[in-house]
């Protein structure tokens, strides 16, 4: 597995990371703990050094799982986690500086580490100045409890304001062939400031794997059941994306998922996608995407063809969208 540096920070990680959320949160089921530990160990054997979790996943149980699985590899892997939610009740935003520091202490214990490698603000809190948030993380870095500061789903203005107080190592936001909004302003800003980009949902919450069709439905406990673009009527229309990926997959002797990930990797050398999975065969498939080579002509064709397809449905329900502040 090749390595990449997240912007100018010097933080080096595997070109593909592993999103761990789905192992214990979001999809209506909690996977077998030992199976997930084995999967993370297999990822390490395959060269993955970058693992993503958050206190709100569960809450807490995903960090505990990651902490247990990666304990034998301390110092050899990079663990990213996140703060910014009130986990005591309804999921509301809370990025008060005192809360950030409390979360850091608790995450350190759950992750079984002495320092958090990368600490993201999970969502921008409109009630707390971003300068105060950056200042709180700056304090944690001075105290040796955090190494790097990150933001998630932040807009250009917030990124600039935070970066002026404490250099931002990485932005984590959704980016894929069927969500290309970051290309307009976010990616140019990250390039200018020397900030790495960590796309989540690089496979469109599973859609770009080609394993869904117009008859696909989700359990009510699966968060995808609330995603408008994955509703039955929109799924049928959005299958054009999968047809496009299938065409390239046949040409490259690859899978649609591998084409989608290879496309992302080809955008910038400081982009590190974090596809998540609970299946060993899917892990293997995803990681092999790093070996898929797309020519300049391939990329041009993928870019122009995908932009011609109009995505049907929003990427979040109206309730979830309220938590995305820019």
Determine the distance from the C-alpha atom of residue 196 to the mean position of all C-alpha atoms in its chain, rounded to a whole number: 12
The answer to whether the CB of 78 falls within 8 A of the CB of 43 is: no
Domain membership flag for residue 55: yes
List per-residue pLDDT tens for the chain, 326 residues long.
999 999 999 999 999 999 999 999 999 889 999 999 999 999 999 999 999 999 999 999 999 999 999 999 999 999 999 999 999 876 699 999 999 999 999 999 999 999 999 999 999 999 999 999 999 999 999 999 999 999 999 999 999 999 999 999 999 999 999 999 999 999 999 999 999 999 999 999 999 999 998 899 999 999 999 999 999 999 999 999 999 999 999 999 999 999 999 999 999 999 999 999 999 999 999 999 999 999 999 999 999 999 999 999 999 887 664 455 44
Cα gap 6→8, rounded to integer Å: 7
Domain membership flag for residue 180: yes
Q: Count of domains in the chain? A: 1
Q: What is the pLDDT of residue 201?
A: 97
Beta strand extents in 3-77 (DSSP E only): 3-5, 12-14, 18-19, 50-52
Domain membership flag for residue 212: no
Domain membership flag for residue 131: yes
8 Cβ neighbours under 8 A, 6+ residues apart: 194, 195
Catalytic residue from among 27, 57, 120, 175: 57
Q: What is the pLDDT of residue 325?
A: 47
DSSP state letters, 115-136: SEEEEEESS--TTS-HHHHHHH
Q: What is the pLDDT of residue 301?
A: 96
Give the other-Cβ count within 10 Å of 92's Cβ.
Answer: 13
Q: What is the pLDDT of residue 322?
A: 47
Helices vs strands, H then E, count in the chain: 11, 11
DSSP 151: E
DSSP state letters, 269-322: TTB----B-S-HHHHHHHHGGGG----HHHHHHHHHHHHHSPPPS-SS-HHHHT
Cα gap 192→270, rounded to integer Å: 12
Domain membership flag for residue 160: yes
Q: Which of 265, 179, 276, 180 is nearest to 227 (CA)?
A: 179
Q: What is the pLDDT of residue 324?
A: 53
Range of the domain at 81: 3-204+268-292
Domain membership flag for residue 238: no
Domain membership flag for residue 222: no
Residue 120 bears catalytic tag: no
**CA distance to 214, 230, 320, per residue, from 217 (Å):** 9, 9, 20
The CATH number of the domain holding residue 159 is: 3.20.20.100
Cα gap 249→285, rounded to integer Å: 13
The answer to whether the CB of 132 falls within 8 A of the CB of 98 is: no
Cα gap 201→173, rounded to integer Å: 8
Cα gap 13→79, rounded to integer Å: 10
């Amino acid at each position: 597995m090749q390595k990449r540096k997240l912007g100018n920070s010097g933080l080096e990680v595997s070109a593909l990371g592993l999103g761990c959320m789905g192992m214990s949160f979001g999809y209506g089921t909690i996977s077998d703990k030992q199976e997930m530990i084995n999967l993370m160990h297999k990822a390490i054997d395959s060269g993955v050094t970058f693992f993503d979790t958050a206190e709100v996943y569960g809450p807490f149980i995903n960090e505990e799982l990651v902490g247990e699985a990666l304990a034998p590899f301390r110092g050899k892997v990079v663990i990213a986690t996140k703060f910014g939610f009130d986990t005591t009740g309804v999921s509301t935003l809370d990025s008060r500086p005192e809360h950030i520091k409390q979360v850091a202490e608790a995450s350190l214990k759950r992750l079984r580490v002495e320092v958090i490698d990368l600490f993201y603000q999970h969502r921008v809190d409109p009630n707390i100045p971003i300068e105060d948030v950056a200042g709180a993380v700056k304090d944690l870095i001075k105290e040796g409890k955090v190494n790097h500061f990150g933001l998630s789903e932040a807009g250009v203005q917030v990124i600039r304001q935070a970066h002026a107080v404490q250099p931002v190592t990485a932005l984590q936001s959704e980016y894929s062939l069927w969500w290309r909004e970051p290309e307009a302003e976010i990616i140019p800003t990250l390039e200018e400031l020397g900030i790495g980009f960590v796309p989540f949902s690089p496979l469109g919450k599973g859609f770009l794997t080609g394993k869904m069709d117009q008859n696909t439905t989700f359990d009510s406990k699966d968060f995808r059941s609330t995603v408008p673009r994955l509703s039955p009527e929109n799924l049928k229309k959005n299958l054009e994306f999968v047809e496009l990926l299938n065409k390239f997959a046949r040409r490259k002797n690859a899978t649609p998922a591998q084409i989608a990930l290879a496309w992302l990797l080809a955008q910038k050398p400081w982009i590190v996608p974090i596809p998540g999975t609970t299946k060993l065969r899917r892990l293997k498939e995803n990681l092999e995407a790093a070996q898929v080579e797309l020519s300049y002509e391939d990329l041009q064709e993928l870019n122009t063809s995908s932009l011609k397809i109009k995505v049907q449905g929003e990427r979040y329900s109206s309730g979830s969208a309220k938590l995305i502040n820019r």
